[in-house]
Amino acid sequence: MGRKPRSWNPAFFYHIVSRGNRREALFLDVGDYKTFFYMLMKIHTRIPFELPCYCLMTNHYHLLMMIGGASHFPKKFPKICRKKLRCPFAG
């Protein structure tokens, strides 16, 4: 049975978390962290968002974001990252 769709409010902050498959490393070196931030900046040019805090660890990340009207952003972000980084993101 599928999960009930989450409600979306553009005025709320959302906690977005993603972890590597089988807890594998997402970020292998400094270049992977830089790539992650580059992708965030690139997405920000198309979909404005606020990112007041974040935490990037070797095998997962946390983002606190206010995304405005783009309710599809949290679902698509791990897929975008998966294409750019060497290690797959859980999505």
| Model pLDDT for residues 41-91, shown as the tens digit of each residue | 888 888 888 999 999 999 999 999 888 766 666 666 666 666 655 544 444
Listed in order, strand segments (DSSP E) in 24-89 are 50-56, 60-66
Residue 91 inside a domain? The answer is no
Q: What is the domain range of residue 49? A: 23-84
Q: What are the φ/ψ torsions at residue 8 (nearest 5 degrees)?
A: -130, 130
CB 36 within 8 A of CB 56: yes
Residue 61 inside a domain? The answer is yes
Q: How many structural domains compose the chain? A: 1
Q: What is the pTM of this model?
A: 0.74
On whether residue 9 sits in a domain, the answer given is: no
Examine residue 6 and state whether it is found in any structural domain, yes or no. no
Residues forming a β-bridge with 19:
60
Q: Is residue 4 part of a domain?
A: no
Residue 14 lies in a domain: no
Q: Is residue 89 part of a domain?
A: no
79 within domain boundaries: yes
